[in-house]
Structure 1
């Protein structure tokens, strides 16, 4: 049964008997009347899903009736039917937000199509999306068994995200659950892949993906030129799906030149990954060459205070000391507005770097603020929140200014985040680091299957906090919890966004180059 109620208003309704019978055979319920006045009375007393309205009627005209219907029931779709093709009638009707426009004589199939278009559209899209994903599901499952390179993993992850975003638009809980389990399975396999291959990427860099410490040299530098200023925006903590959610907004001002997924180093945490991005070095090398800038987990003070200095040192090392470069870090709204207002002053730079800390603030505050926890209870909500922020942020104003001034735009991030669901017990001494997705310290005890453990941090170019320090990185959607005060801790952090460990969401992240659209 359709359970759809149709109101059909036409002064020659008797001539439409065949159409009405046709609809009734299709299980639609049709109420008829012969004037606008009658229609308005009926609408007061009954509820309809759609109205078919003749334009040319004695008494109240179709357009007048349309205005009255919209005043009473603004959300009801109204389909205008008319003999006349006069432009002013069409314009008037369209201006009044009609749902569709049909020219007499209409045949029953046109009416049916109009109903489907207006009332069944979301269901039809939903069914098509669901059936397409069901076909793709089997292919993804087969691909997952075969994936054996960092390129394949990045490709598979983006395919899963494509379907996740498609399913966002339809309310099919069953399909979303299937996709969630497929993502979870992918992360389990990805964890094994990283465990097996990560260390070897440092032994033979030619077989490694672009990573935090090689991104600037390999991907940013080739884009720099004296002929066009470049704006490099590093949005802290930006997952690939969050980038995809606000990309359409940026497309109004910029067109994409290239997009590649690149890999964050481990730990997928700001002090490691973002310092590596700006210095062009792994943390072990930073500690050796720049002890004055590098801080380990348990050192006092801010861990990302010297990104500008790291960047200058890297530019010098790459023989680019004659570039005019400015670096800005935005950590609050006031900061952001100030840069947006004065952005014109950047136009003579060859490279303007902006680190935007918003997503980081949001995901950290999620653990602190119940409100944000409510607003970002899952990945779909988190994307939606990011999009809402971006549309109203100084960052969008900065990007608009950059377009006007002809800047090339590069957008990237340092690492992503994952919604953690399950605890895994870990024990360490009081000097053990505090992060929930990785731990570094002496004599750590942990559940082997839940983590990738690195006994000698030098093997993956990380410094040791002390003799015998090791690193463990959480896999899947786990977070590391101490046994003391365990239940409180677990309920507090479950279903929050964390980073530092091994997952597709944290490690596979976007690097995008865009050119300004011509005004």
Structure 2
């Protein structure tokens, strides 16, 4: 929930909370609350770096095909943008929706199938059209992700109160508990450059392919969430993300 803010701001989460409290929102797991000030954080990043854009900054977020088509029109109408930041949420939405959809689970029952589905989507997507339009305008694109995901098959018990975040791979709250060999417990989050407004705030991050389930109705929720793609824990697939700089072929 912190990764895109860190990406756009160029700061660790604790630094964002300290320097820009007006832009730091942490009410829930929802994307709307935690990532609502990405444009402002990017603008502050440019200011600190001494970068002045002659033709301004453009920020846009694509949730669906309609949003993608709207952005395509912007690219066609205004090719002289100094910097354009584009967030595409499709793959993230796909990983979340898969656990709730029998059809998606049949289409992507395992990791190779999920990758094939994502590849098929991209080859016919609005995003691919946008990248080709940008290439035709002789612009450079830096393409990356804020996190990866992992196929979760093993449940592990977690303890927390009602204010604890609901994510399956990480928990943020107060006086949390976990099984030590299956998760990392950050008792002093400040040492990891994570916000620690109170002394009792802590974090737990699931290891390997584990996902958190509360002790109440453990086996019910174990079955419900097993075999889902999740993110926010500690695995190579989540923490090591690709980045590529794309330049047009002249």
TM-score (norm 1): 0.46
**Counterpart in 1 of 2:40?**
309
**Counterpart in 2 of 1:179?**
none
Within a 5 Å distance, the mapping from 1:19-34 to structure 2 comes to: none
**Counterpart in 2 of 1:492?**
224
The 1:492/1:374 distance shift into structure 2, 3 A limit, reads same
1:326 alignment partner, SS class = strand
**Counterpart in 2 of 1:446?**
178
1:286 aligns with 2:13: no
> Deviation per CA, 1:283-312, whole angstroms, max 9, x where unpaired?
111111221211225488621111111000
The 8 Å contact of residues 327 and 354 in structure 1, kept in 2 or not, is answered as: yes
Query: Which moves more between the two structures, 318-327 or 308-317?
Result: 318-327
1:368 alignment partner, SS class = coil
The 8 Å contact of residues 425 and 482 in structure 1, kept in 2 or not, is answered as: yes
The 1:424/1:297 distance shift into structure 2, 3 A limit, reads farther
1:416 aligns with 2:148: yes
- Match for 2:5 among 268, 275, 285? 275
Structure 1 spans left out of the alignment, 5+ residues: 1-270
1:422 & 1:360 partners in 2: Cα distance?
21
- Match for 1:359 among 82, 91, 96? 91
Within a 5 Å distance, the mapping from 1:323-472 to structure 2 comes to: 323=54, 324-464=56-196, 466-472=198-204
1:468 & 1:298 partners in 2: Cα distance?
18
2:98 alignment partner, SS class = helix
**Counterpart in 1 of 2:49?**
318
Computing the radius of gyration from Cα coordinates, the structure with the larger value is 1
The 8 Å contact of residues 441 and 466 in structure 1, kept in 2 or not, is answered as: no
The 8 Å contact of residues 157 and 214 in structure 2, kept in 1 or not, is answered as: yes
Of structures 1 and 2, the one with the larger relative CO (CA 8 A, separation 6+) is 2
2:79 & 2:73 partners in 1: Cα distance?
13
User: When the two structures are aligned, how many residues end up with a matched partner?
Assistant: 248
In the TM superposition, residue 351 of structure 1 has moved relative to its aligned partner by 1.5
The 8 Å contact of residues 441 and 465 in structure 1, kept in 2 or not, is answered as: no
The 8 Å contact of residues 149 and 230 in structure 2, kept in 1 or not, is answered as: yes
> RMSD in angstroms over aligned alpha carbons?
1.6
2:191 alignment partner, SS class = helix
> Deviation per CA, 1:162-208, whole angstroms, max 9, x where unpaired?
xxxxxxxxxxxxxxxxxxxxxxxxxxxxxxxxxxxxxxxxxxxxxxx
The 1:360/1:442 distance shift into structure 2, 3 A limit, reads same
Within a 5 Å distance, the mapping from 1:64-463 to structure 2 comes to: 271-296=1-26, 298=28, 302-323=33-54, 324-463=56-195
Structure 2 spans left out of the alignment, 5+ residues: none
The 1:342/1:299 distance shift into structure 2, 3 A limit, reads closer
The 8 Å contact of residues 29 and 165 in structure 2, kept in 1 or not, is answered as: no
The 8 Å contact of residues 418 and 505 in structure 1, kept in 2 or not, is answered as: yes
The 8 Å contact of residues 297 and 433 in structure 1, kept in 2 or not, is answered as: no
